[in-house]
């Protein structure tokens, strides 16, 4: 497994959780303190911190601490490997879909005779 | 959590494993029997079957059985929810990136004075 592949796995794992995706949505609007992310969602602080740690390990967010206050920001370019993977596979997959459709049309025509 | 959100979580979880991504790459070329997927990769049959089950639960592949032979095919359109999620967030995230860049440029200019 290459480093890129390991990074992609970390990112996809981080995105695979709906709570983590909702945290990202929230941070996409503006940076937020850890308590800002906990209070409105009703999530307990340790739960939020665990999710933030997974997001930070994947490079999807960054955080900084001033005094006792930790602020989180998203790292938008961190989604690039997912986009690249999808684009890379799109061509192959779509070509395959086209062939399957052509085959289905052909079978349908033959049956109609 | 909506059904769409649950589906997206299943798909992202399935994609988060490098072995499962390599199985998808292999199936993107052409359908394959379970043994075809096991032999060249050196993966044990139960391991391959476990990964195939995760991929099938996420709707990324489909399989059919003829006699004792199970054949797997990819379901290319199953990646659509991931693409939709990325597109939906691209706009918000890129706008944020633009604002950050503008801010960085402004700070750099002020420092240069």
d(CA B99, CA B94): 9
C-beta separation of B78 from B55 below 8 A: no
Residues A55-89 pLDDT 10s: 999 999 999 999 999 999 999 889 889 998 988 87
d(CA A85, CA B99): 27
Selecting from A5, A28, A93 the residue whose C-beta is nearest the C-beta of B76 gives A93
Question: Token digits for B37?
Answer: 């997927």
Mean pLDDT of B87-93: 77
Residues in chain B: 113
Lowest mean pLDDT among A27-31, A45-49, B96-100: B96-100
Contacts of B76 in chain A (CB under 8 A): 93-94, 96-97
β-bridge partners, B70: B65
Nearest CA in chain A to B9: A16
User: Residue A62, exposed/middle/buried by CB under 10 A (0-12, 13-18, 19+)?
Assistant: middle
3-class DSSP state for residue A96?
A: helix
Query: Rounded to whole angstroms, what are the CA distances from A45 to A22, A42, A95?
Result: 15, 9, 47
Contacts of A13 in chain B (CB under 8 A): 12-13, 16
Interface of B with A in 40-99 (CB under 8 A): 74, 76-77, 79, 82-83, 85-86, 89-90, 92-94, 96-97
Q: Does B16 contact A13 at a Cβ distance shorter than 8 Å?
A: yes
- Give the DSSP H/E element, type plus range, for residue B66: strand B61-66
Q: Average pLDDT over chain B, rounded to whole? A: 88
pLDDT of residue A40: 75
> How much is the ipTM here?
0.79
Q: Which has more confidence, B64 or B77?
A: B64
Mean pLDDT of B12-21: 96
Q: Please, what sign has the CA dihedral across residues A26, A32, A33, A39?
A: negative
Burial A83-103, CB ≥16 within 10 A → b, else e: eebeeebeeebeebeeeeeee
| Cβ-Cβ contacts under 8 Å for B55 (sequence gap 6 or more) | B14, B20, B23, B24, B61
pLDDT band at residue A28 using 50, 70 and 90 as cut-offs: confident
């Amino acid at each position: 497994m290459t480093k890129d592949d390991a990074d992609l796995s970390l990112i996809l794992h981080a995105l695979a959780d709906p709570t983590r995706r909702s945290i990202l949505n929230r941070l996409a609007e503006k940076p937020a303190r850890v308590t800002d992310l906990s209070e409105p969602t009703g999530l307990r602080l340790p739960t939020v911190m665990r999710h933030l740690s997974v997001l930070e390990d994947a490079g999807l967010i960054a955080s900084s601490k001033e005094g006792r206050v930790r602020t989180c920001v998203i790292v938008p370019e961190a989604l690039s490997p997912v986009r690249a993977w999808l684009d890379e596979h799109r061509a192959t997959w779509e070509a395959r879909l086209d062939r399957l459709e052509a085959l289905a049309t052909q079978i349908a025509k033959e049956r109609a005779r």
